[in-house]
Amino acid sequence: MSAERSTEPKRYDVAIVGAGPTGLFAVFELGLLGLNAVLIDTLDKPGGQCAELYPEKPIYDIPSWPVITGQGLTDKLLEQIAPFKADFFLGRRVSGVTRQDDGRFVVSTDAGDLIDAGAIFIAAGAGCFTPRRPKLEGLDAFENRSVFYAVRNRGSFAGRDIVIAGGGDSALDWTLDLVSIARSVTLVHRSDRFRAAPASVSAMRALEAEGRVRFVEGDLAALHGDDGVLSRIDLKTRTGPVEVAADRLLAFYGLNIELGPIAEWGLDLADGKLIKVDTEKFETSTPGVFAIGDINHYPGKLKLILSGFHEAALASHAAFKVVRPNEKLRFQYTTSSSELQQRLNVAPIAEAAE
């Protein structure tokens, strides 16, 4: 299902930004019309908020499902769209969109992918999941040089004085991992109560007892250094300030949701964070770019998953006219159309009865 990293633009009818329930169902509605799709999501799995924020929580307002969990709904949608074989570009953030002379779009991702699409569906929910950043003066200058929110190039942490902030599994796992290559590792968390696997906490405590890891109960207070090169971190603790020599900071404060780069696409917005659409096609102020699900705004909008499904169906019909301008759209039902049943890989009902 996942697509290989590509530098040649791969051609699709529709590029869907966001693989939450609305984006997933759009694959289905497009598929019925004979259109193929690619899904791009910053998360490393499909399902959006349903999978990331509340996989175990019951949802009670999905039609015909008296109760279903966020993960259950995601799994059912994946099953439903399987016949359409959409490509998934996961763990990637859309970095740019340009329109070509022929009216088609090229979508690029931060992983270097290029996608050629006839239309774009923005189904990005509340926006993209991004690491929560600590509120520290001058943080921007240090980010991606000395301050990181994930370990991408492990080797670059070798021989470093590393401060790791946070009390969850990521903070503990990287403390245990990097201690073998770092010059020093200091774990900073505001209390001795951790949210990590108990075995990881015990292992960290053992390293602390050996003097290989330093644990400081406190919060980050200030960064010091020049030109983005970190040299020292000040910590605030109950017993007073503590200074730690450090040239790397890894901060693991979980994920936040923000609109992100979509805000800069030049689309008409409502309140600066929702995309204005019409209610016939769910098209944005840019022709060929549609917005469906929680991210859009129109009079009477209800932020419900079922609204996203409805919007996906109408946007798909509108998108057909954009990507197949010379073809006639014939509206058909899955109960009776053998063409749709073929697309769904199910035996036509009439034949099955014979």
Partner 1 sequence: MSENGAKIVVIDRAGERHVLDTVEGWRVMEILRDQNTGIEGICGGSCDCATCHVVVDPAWADRLPPARDEELDKLDELPLIEPTSRLSCQIIWSDDLDGLTVTIPEAA
Task: Name the residues that contact partner 1, by CB under 8 A.
Answer: 49, 53-54, 57, 126, 132-135, 165-168, 190-191, 193, 195, 219-220, 251, 253-254, 256-257
Q: Which is nearer to partner 1, 230 or 251 (CB)?
A: 251
Q: Which is nearer to partner 1, 190 or 232 (CB)?
A: 190
- In angstroms, the CA 16 to CA 122 distance is 6
Q: Which is nearer to partner 1, 117 or 128 (CB)?
A: 128
Of 165, 167, 147, 171, nearest to 157 (Cα)? 147
Q: Which is nearer to partner 1, 134 or 228 (CB)?
A: 134
Give the nearest distance from C-beta 169 to partner 1 in angstroms: 11
Of 343, 341, 83, nearest to 351 (Cα)? 341
Q: Is residue 25 within 8 Å of 309, Cβ to Cβ?
A: yes
Give the nearest distance from C-beta 69 to partner 1 in angstroms: 11
Q: What phi and psi values does residue 68 have, to the nearest 5 degrees? A: -155, 145
How far are the Cα atoms of 48, 124, 126, 294 from residue 52, in angstroms, in the given order? Answer: 6, 13, 13, 16
Beta-bridged to residue 227, according to DSSP, are none
Give the nearest distance from C-beta 294 to partner 1 in angstroms: 9
185 C-beta neighbours (distance < 10 Å), count: 29
Strands in 269-270's sheet, in edge-to-edge order, are 269-270, 274-276, 296-297
Give the nearest distance from C-beta 299 to partner 1 in angstroms: 17
Q: What phi and psi values does residue 143 have, to the nearest 5 degrees? A: -65, 140
Give the nearest distance from C-beta 136 to partner 1 in angstroms: 9
Q: Which residue carries 């923005």 as its tokens?
A: 122
Residue 264 three-state SS? helix
Q: Which is nearer to partner 1, 253 or 298 (CB)?
A: 253
Give the nearest distance from C-beta 56 to partner 1 in angstroms: 9
Tokens of 104: 């088609």
Q: Which is nearer to partner 1, 58 or 103 (CB)?
A: 58
Q: Which is nearer to partner 1, 188 or 319 (CB)?
A: 188
Give the nearest distance from C-beta 200 to partner 1 in angstroms: 15
